């Protein structure tokens, strides 16, 4: 893709315009990753990091929001790292 068609759009919220939850109501063990491209993300590295984190925080979850068929695409890596119960896919 040519540089002139490649735009950076930050996706962080504007915190002074949204209601924030109290710290005790935030799920501190859920990581949310939103993307529409499995190619542009190094998921094996993310899964490896999740494996390391899950040894210290067994209740940790990675929720991947994006395309529907990713479970099949990454099943081998998820099984290899034994993080089947830690990865959730939402289409």
pLDDT at res. 13: 65
How would DSSP label each residue in 13-51? --GGGSPPPPGGGS-TTEEEEE-S-SSSS-HHHHHHHHH
Of the pLDDT bands very low, low, confident and very high (cuts 50, 70, 90), residue 86 is very high
pLDDT of 8-54, one tens digit each?
666 666 677 778 788 888 888 999 888 877 777 888 899 999 999 99
From CA 4, how far away is CA 82, in angstroms rounded?
A: 42
């Amino acid at each position: 893709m040519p540089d002139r068609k490649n735009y950076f759009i930050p996706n962080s919220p504007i915190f002074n315009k949204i209601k924030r939850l109290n710290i005790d109501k935030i799920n501190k063990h859920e990581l949310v990753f939103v993307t529409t491209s499995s190619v542009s993300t190094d998921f094996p590295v993310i899964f490896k990091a999740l494996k390391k984190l899950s040894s210290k925080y067994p209740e940790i979850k990675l929720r991947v929001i994006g395309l529907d068929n990713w479970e099949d695409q990454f099943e081998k890596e998820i099984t290899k790292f034994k993080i089947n119960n830690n990865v959730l896919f939402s289409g």
